[in-house]
């Protein structure tokens, strides 16, 4: 236990909560429901323990722990990491044993058995990522090392990490696999530095055959990066396989040392984009597989959901579950298109960042819709889903901003004006011929408030 008395901890946390509330990071209702009732239990060196009433509060806070750590660090005027426990957990575990418990939790098997290669739906948007992940199982440490999988949240990156882990555990049971979330990795390293057990932890990690690290963009603590850099070099030199996921391309990472970014880029970087219509529908069909007798749902409903919610696989699956729940609640004879449209009315128009539409807003809206990054839409990539999104964004800039083709070309990776002209003409033609693409275009316009 630290030398901080309860009153000091209360004052520090109250200042932190004020900063969090004033930042606008959380919706006021979310803050008052899930954040406000937390307390600062202890500060030991550069490590804080936060306690919340229930497990659901813990889940909400853990999802935003990096932001909360930043605010607490600002109050204390030094960098600090944090861990979160529910009141029940604190009552069961004495603080003196927390370090040992944390380490055991981090190193325990966290591979989720439900995520496999067999139930990963493959489409144009994720085929390369799936093939690269599978190749790591066949040829570990040889060709794609590290494998860096990037793309927006909810598109299947974590599924592939667990699929690798499950494949190895089934086919190579003697191999050691460690799946770890980057913030848990930081917590582990900070605790080991505090307890002078860094070498022990490093040896344990260096012994694994597969290191699967999720959301590397959160590895922003400088001391942790130094240790990770040394571990990374050791694993690579020993031909151990490293697989990393991130929301963004390695070159877009912020707060990560350049030498690490350089090493991430030295392997294979593949993206996962939002699923195209066919893949989204296949995902929905997989979800209702074996339930056809109990779920009477029209095929047109699956088309509707696949078209409307394909930008996020989690949201896609969540909307199907919501639809089933509403069907149980309202008991229609069958789930038809009329019922589905009533349940999922049009999303509100996207709030603009300013009163005038801009190229930046168009790029952001198109990227969000297709699950891409700004780097991808401006890149030289000719992958179909990326080139289609790029052409739509260019066409929107021409149609609604009336930008000259020279300007459009410059805004999208310094392309020639003839390329911008060709892209706009091609999209104009495709929108007349392809109804699915036309509907996607109309949805983007509505989200921009121009449809």
Question: Residue 438, SS3?
Answer: helix
Q: What is the pLDDT of residues 302-348, one digit of tens each?
A: 888 888 777 778 888 888 888 888 888 888 878 888 888 888 875 44
Sign of CA dihedral 288, 291, 297, 298: positive
Q: What is the pLDDT of residues 312-322, one digit of tens each?
A: 788 888 888 88
Report the DSSP beta bridge partners of residue 40.
50
Give the pLDDT of residue 353: 40
The answer for residues whose C-beta is within 8 angstroms of residue 422's C-beta and 6 or more apart is none
Q: Is the pTM of this model over 0.75?
A: no
Measured CA to CA, the distance from residue 449 to residue 353 in angstroms comes to: 12
Band (pLDDT 50/70/90 cuts) for residue 101 is: low
Q: What is the pLDDT of residues 143-162, one digit of tens each?
A: 889 999 998 878 889 999 99
Where is average pLDDT lowest: 106-115, 146-155, 257-266, 388-397?
Answer: 106-115
The answer for residues whose C-beta is within 8 angstroms of residue 197's C-beta and 6 or more apart is none
Measured CA to CA, the distance from residue 112 to residue 103 in angstroms comes to: 19
Instruction: Kindly state the greatest CA–CA separation across the chain.
Output: 71
Q: What is the pLDDT of residues 401-442, one digit of tens each?
A: 888 888 898 889 888 888 889 999 999 999 988 888 888 898
């Amino acid at each position: 236990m630290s030398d901080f008395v309860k009153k000091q901890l209360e004052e520090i946390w109250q200042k932190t909560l004020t900063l969090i509330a004033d930042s606008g990071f959380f919706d006021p209702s979310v803050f008052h429901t899930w954040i406000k009732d937390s307390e600062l239990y202890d500060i030991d060196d550069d490590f804080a323990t936060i306690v919340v009433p229930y497990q659901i509060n813990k889940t909400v806070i853990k999802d935003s722990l990096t932001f909360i750590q930043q605010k607490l660090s600002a109050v204390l005027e030094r960098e600090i990491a944090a861990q979160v426990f529910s009141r029940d957990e604190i009552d069961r575990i004495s603080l003196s044993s927390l370090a040992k418990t944390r380490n055991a939790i981090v190193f325990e098997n966290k591979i989720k058995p439900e995520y496999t290669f067999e139930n990963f739906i493959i489409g144009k948007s994720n085929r390369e990522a799936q093939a690269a992940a599978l190749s790591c199982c066949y040829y570990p440490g040889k060709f794609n090392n590290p494998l860096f999988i990037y793309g927006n949240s909810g598109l299947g990156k974590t599924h592939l990490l667990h699929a690798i882990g499950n494949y190895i555990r089934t086919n190579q049971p003697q191999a050691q696999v460690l799946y770890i979330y980057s913030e848990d990795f930081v917590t582990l390293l900070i605790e080991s530095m505090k307890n002078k057990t860094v070498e022990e932890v490093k040896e344990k990690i260096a012994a694994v055959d597969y290191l699967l690290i999720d959301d590397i963009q959160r590895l922003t603590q400088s001391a942790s990066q130094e240790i990770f850099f040394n571990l990374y070099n050791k694993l690579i030199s020993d031909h151990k396989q490293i697989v990393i996921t991130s929301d963004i391309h390695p070159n877009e990472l912020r707060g990560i040392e350049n030498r690490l970014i350089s090493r991430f880029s030295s392997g294979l970087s593949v993206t996962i984009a939002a699923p195209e219509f066919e893949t989204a529908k296949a995902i929905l069909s997989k979800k209702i597989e074996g339930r056809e007798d109990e779920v009477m749902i029209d095929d047109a409903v699956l088309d509707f959901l696949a078209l409307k919610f394909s930008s996020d696989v989690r949201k896609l699956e969540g909307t199907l579950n919501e639809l089933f729940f509403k069907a149980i609640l309202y008991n229609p004879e069958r789930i038809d298109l009329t019922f589905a449209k009533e349940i999922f009315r049009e999303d509100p128009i996207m709030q603009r960042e300013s009163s005038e539409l801009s190229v930046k807003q168009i790029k952001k809206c198109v990227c969000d819709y297709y699950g891409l990054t700004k780097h991808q839409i401006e890149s030289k990539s000719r992958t179909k889903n990326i080139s289609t999104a790029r052409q739509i964004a260019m066409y929107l800039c021409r149609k609604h901003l009336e930008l000259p083709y020279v300007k459009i070309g410059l805004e999208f990776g310094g392309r020639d004006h003839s390329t911008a002209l060709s892209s706009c003409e091609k999209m104009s033609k495709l929108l007349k011929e392809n109804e699915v693409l036309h509907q996607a275009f109309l949805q983007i316009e509505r989200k921009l408030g121009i449809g």
